[in-house]
Amino acid sequence: MFQEAFHQCVKNFGENPRHISLWDRLTYWRVVRPDWLYESPNDELETIFLNLAQLRRDGVVVWGHIIQANNLLFSPGGGDCPGEVVYSLDRTMPVDPEELGSVADAIGSLKHTKPSDPDLASIADYLTNEWMRVYGKPVPATISPNREYKISTVYVVRKHLPKPSQSLERPFLPILVLPEPPHVALVLPSRYWPQVLIDWWRGG
């Protein structure tokens, strides 16, 4: 189901470069900076907002798995929030959802730890901090020896998640990522998801 759903997401959204109508850019695709970001001018979450136009035009659709996210996102309500997602830009072979989930779990388990391996320690420090942002951070081969994965901060926009809850019902979902640095990411808006994926997301 997932491989067919993925191809349908790509088909629905279209290959890059793509054109989003002015109306959609001003409405459905409009992503508003959170108020607190104006009070934190050095927060690198700003990188996402600076690259939104390019992301819409040139981003590629890939499967992503949430590593961690603001707790507010797991319940219905208002407010868009950041999170962290792992994904692969290698689209030459299908992504195994279970493998991606295992990679996400291994990464998440590093939080609040002090690994001796410097690559793992770097990830542990960033996850523990919760205010650090990364874009395309490589997943060490000690976690994934057979496939290259990356980690990016993602901004989760409520209106882009399936109704009615518009919350993170599941951690596995299609995302949109810039294929070249900076690898900024957003959840692929559910307008482009096939119905079978929306039904699965809702628990059907």
Instruction: Decide if pLDDT at 204 tops 70.
Output: no
- What is the percent of the chain with per-residue pLDDT over 90, rounded to a whole number? 72
CB 82 within 8 A of CB 66: no
| Token pair listed for 65 | 């798995």
Measured CA to CA, the distance from residue 30 to residue 137 in angstroms comes to 26
Position 122 scores a pLDDT of 95
Segment 91-150, tens digit of pLDDT: 788 888 999 999 999 999 999 999 999 999 999 999 999 889 999 999 999 999 889 999
pLDDT category of residue 42 using cuts at 50, 70 and 90: confident
User: 114 by DSSP, 3-state: which?
Assistant: coil
**Contact criterion met (CB below 8 Å) for 153 and 147:** no
Q: For residue 151, which of 116, 115, 122 has the smallest C-alpha distance? A: 122
Length of the chain, in residues:
204
Q: How many helices (H) and strands (E) are present in the chain, helices listed first?
A: 8, 6
> Considering the chain, what is the average pLDDT of its residues?
92
78 pLDDT band, cuts 50/70/90, is: confident
Q: Other CB atoms closer than 10 Å to residue 47's CB: what's the count?
A: 16
Alpha carbon distance 164, 135 (integer Å): 30
pLDDT digits (tens, 9 = 90+) for 10-22: 999 998 889 889 9
pLDDT, tens digit, for every residue of 158-180? 999 999 889 999 999 999 999 99
How far apart are the C-alpha atoms of 203 and 135, rounded to whole Å?
31
Q: pTM of the entire structure?
A: 0.94
